[in-house]
Chain A
């Protein structure tokens, strides 16, 4: 019997009672799965905590589900909408495109553009052969004729490539010319390579055309006995302004194209103007055909736009300055942003289901490890009920979705100072690689991943998962430690997600006296940031429960809220660096990278911002002089002595993993008080790169006083306030010792005060506070 494994996802990450959610499941080795709705309370199995806690809940979808194998289309490509088969050309034709290939040495066939069925050897296509040479081929349903360039293509160099083909004579001629300038390619003019190749061949037969074959850019039609039609032979790299003409163009015609001319008007069948359609707010996935038939090319798995094109001059660094230089569309054979599986089951959320974090638990066979799946979703209230709101950092879950740093990132062991601890689930996901990558990973050609979506199984957005590189819970399962504490305390709490906040803005926060974040709300859109700033300024009370929050500027496409975009650049602790000229989000037009580099350092909202990260160990906080000040002494009431947070599930204490620091030079509100601060961290804790102007030895925990977590508090207008823990590990410290510990005590003091609709404790001293130093 095949190994039993089950994976799934939902079409939504946040739902209200009465709304429908659909579940999409792929299963091997079983045809039935046991489905049970559960409320998730705690997800860390660490021996010092309460362990995994879930509550089974009555639900209309509970029971036995029929499950089956479902296939995932990997790879980004463009599919041309050609219902009248205008591109099933029987006469002469020419194909052309500017390309910037990235995997010419991989030893595989790649299709740049064409109407080609690779399973049935029918149609025509221009592509790259396994030896890395440009090639054009036609098939008559039996045999294939080829014409191949003499010289191989070089990776990361812009070329104009094309073919001129006349079936009447059988002559097919390849056109390959380098179009490097001083900026657009990896190498420059000092490299004495020959880039041009012009070869011809006489073909024996004409192409045959099958009605169902689509015209694809960056892929070709294939067929599998079980799966049916799919796309293979993906192209890796950038394609700019592909076109097809209905005559055999001359060398002179191509030479004019090389200078930037449009294809001859009288012969154009389709010209996909990849630089057309940009607005100040970005561009969508579909590509406009400015030819006579308007054959729109639709993007699948998010081909990356807002990328430099063949004519990029190195001066205009954003498509908003000159979209004509941004015709590059980047394709990756290992990209997936939507598994597009059939619906396995659906559920209308029961009206009486309290707001919380839920999952559909699925089990087959042994029901453990890869035979168990949790499809997680948040149930938000139909109308706000509690005074406390947990803001689930779903954008950050997306950023880390299916990260595989332990397997591929050479940096991970030096960074964590420890060998990874992997599980069968980690290995299974890595080996099969069909559920896509995180924004911490690279595509196989080395490019960073900038799109991530929840329309695919996310193995680390489930309880019990531990991030293998760090061997602690991370993001979702770590946040469940805060959820468990809220549950333990009995607070009436509503749950909303980043997606809800992005869509609805400030209005979704205003009903609440207090908003509490997750452990690592690192990825935020402008709307999310604006809403939280306005909430605090309007009298809201925010508890920032983590470290390295409010860090990356991200975007969501208006019609694709399930898919997030980020570009990592310039500075910051980053897994990859966007190339020059490619720093702006195609989904919004904004510059991505750190909010700090856009004038909105996290200190301005929260009082603290990212200063260091480290692993293996953590440290407690020690009270700072402000802790005893009469305006804030209520925060540490009941904590004897100076130490706070000397227990925890993340390396044994509350200050650890990623740390934030108070810094007036970055916008910490001047009246902010440092209640407590950690210190004495190990040398595995290193200063973040955005703090560096000049690097020098010793920017580590035992030598640099800046490396610490600051617990801070400040009051805001209209009776608002912000409390920060400054550490990812604080949330995981809450469940220690049966929730009876100093970190939990401090947080309870703050939440209890923030929930009261009255002046905050200590505010009777506000006049003096302004004068106090």
Chain B
């Protein structure tokens, strides 16, 4: 049996996490499906906010909610009672950034605004 020691460069640069390659592949397949079912009706279904949603909407929301933290959005409750959208940095102790200038009168509208942001990211439009 050959007994070999790793050279120093092996240890000095720990390999990157290859799991991300697989995740990206999975994400591409998911996006392809979501783009195939995306419609105005689906967006309207979310805006109405039914308690039991269709499978395409459930899958679209599941994709949105499972995106990496740095690609997720949240709602900021402002002191005047309005709501705005923010995004997380994914970095500890870095405060979230506002997304766009739009202000929403209700939480439901703001949450739909989050949904539309994910649609925008999905379609690239």
Contact = CB atoms under 8 A, between A and B. Distances in A.
B102 interface: no
A576 interface: no
A406 interface: yes
A408 B61 CA distance: 19
Nearest to B83: A421
Contact of B75 (A152, A154, A421, A424): A421
Q: Interface of chain A, helix or strand or loop or mixed?
A: loop
B65 A417 contact: yes
Interface string A216-227: 000000000000
Given A152-B12, A192-B10, A418-B111, A431 B51 contact: no
A306 to B, nearest CB: 27
A201 B1 CA distance: 37
A423 B92 contact: no
B6 A193 contact: yes
A407 B89 CA distance: 9
B69 interface: yes
A422 B107 CA distance: 12
Contacts of B92: 408, 433, 444
B86 interface: yes
Given A410-B69, A414-B66, A419-B75, A431 B8 contact: no
B65 A423 contact: no
Nearest to B96: A427
Contacts of A683: 52, 58
Contact of A431 (B69, B76, B93): B93
A148 B52 CA distance: 61
B71 to A, nearest CB: 11
B74 interface: yes
Contacts of B83: 421
Contact of A430 (B8, B75, B95): B95
Interface residues of A, number: 37
Interface string B90-123: 0011111000000000010001001000000000
B48 interface: no
B10 A193 contact: yes
A419 B111 contact: yes
B6 A192 contact: yes
Given A192-B4, A192-B5, A154 B93 contact: no
Contacts of A468: 74
B12 A151 contact: yes
Interface centre among A193, A417, A421 (most CB of B within 10 A): A421
B11 A422 contact: no
Contacts of B14: 105, 154
A420 B8 contact: no
Interface string B52-92: 10000010011011101100111111010001001010001
Contacts of B86: 422
A424 B83 CA distance: 12
A408 B11 contact: no
B76 A423 contact: yes
Given A192-B5, A414-B62, A419-B73, A682 B12 contact: no
A433 B64 CA distance: 27
A432 B93 contact: yes
Interface string A152-169: 101000000000000000
B93 A151 contact: no
A431 B95 contact: yes
Given A417-B61, A444-B92, A702-B52, A422 B77 contact: yes
Interface in A386-442: 406-408, 410, 413-414, 417-424, 427, 430-433
Interface of B: 4-6, 8, 10-12, 14, 51-52, 58, 61-62, 64-66, 68-69, 72-77, 79, 83, 86, 88, 92-96, 107, 111, 114
The 3 closest A-B pairs by CB, nearest first: A413-B65, A431-B95, A420-B74
29 contacts: A150-B8, A154-B11, A154-B14, A192-B5, A193-B11, A369-B79, A406-B74, A407-B96, A410-B66, A413-B64, A413-B65, A413-B72, A414-B66, A417-B65, A419-B73, A419-B75, A421-B75, A421-B83, A421-B107, A422-B77, A423-B76, A423-B77, A427-B95, A430-B95, A431-B93, A431-B95, A433-B92, A444-B92, A468-B74
Given A193-B6, A368-B79, 14 more contacts: A192-B5, A193-B11, A194-B5, A194-B11, A406-B74, A408-B69, A417-B65, A419-B114, A420-B75, A422-B77, A422-B96, A423-B76, A424-B79, A431-B95
